[in-house]
Amino acid sequence: EDQVTQSPEALRLQEGESSSLNCSYTVSGLRGLFWYRQDPGKGPEFLFTLYSAGEEKEKERLKATLTKKESFLHITAPKPEDSATYLCAVQAERNNDMRFGAGTRLTVKP
Amino acid sequence: DAGITQSPRHKVTETGTPVTLRCHQTENHRYMYWYRQDPGHGLRLIHYSYGVKDTDKGEVSDGYSVSRSKTEDFLLTLESATSSQTSVYFCAIGAGGEQFFGPGTRLTVL
């Protein structure tokens, strides 16, 4: 069965303190791995798609990387507006199902 | 923002009553999805549609049915609501893993 595990569950950073969020996955034939951001009371917002090991994507202070077993979301010099829950999801080659992790709740203090 | 609306946004109902949630999109997208989000479980796919009258089950489809008679509308029905179906329900559109989510419906079943 496809599984996605995100760690840590919650992370508190000071503004400017860089860190990484982890997404470990098991899937039979990866079609893609996806990162989303979710603000309280809102629907998730798409950030990145990664398709193969070694691939990297960047957007502002965020960089996502992918290996055969896990993905990292690196946050460089975060700002308070980066506070949100970050979700990771995988999609298998065999179907259209998306399997999401439970998320990492990031708080950035000024 | 992708043109996705959900109605109602909040609903409180009693066990055993039928409930229908509506998702409306203005993007003319072929694929539409229904998810539920619960603490500790993340987002889980209930059903999805790949065209008018074409639907398929997701990870947690028991107790739910869907219908899509028009491209723009995707309905989720709980035939006889149970307390375990208390959740936040999100509709999404998109191809593959790059999906755009609606604002959500908070459903409470007493």
Mean pLDDT, rounded, for B24-50: 94
Better-scored residue on pLDDT, B40 or B88: B88
pLDDT tens digits for range A2-49: 899 999 999 999 999 999 999 999 998 899 999 999 999 999 999 999
- Within 8 A by CB and 6+ apart from B23, the residues are B4, B5, B6, B32, B34, B73, B74, B75, B76, B91, B102
Residue of A nearest to B35 (CA): A98
- Which residues of A are less than 8 Å from B40 in CB distance? 102
pLDDT of residue B1: 55
Tokens 């791995």 correspond to what residue?
A33
Could you tell me if B93 lies within 8 Å of chain A, comparing CB atoms? no
* Average pLDDT across chain A, whole number: 95
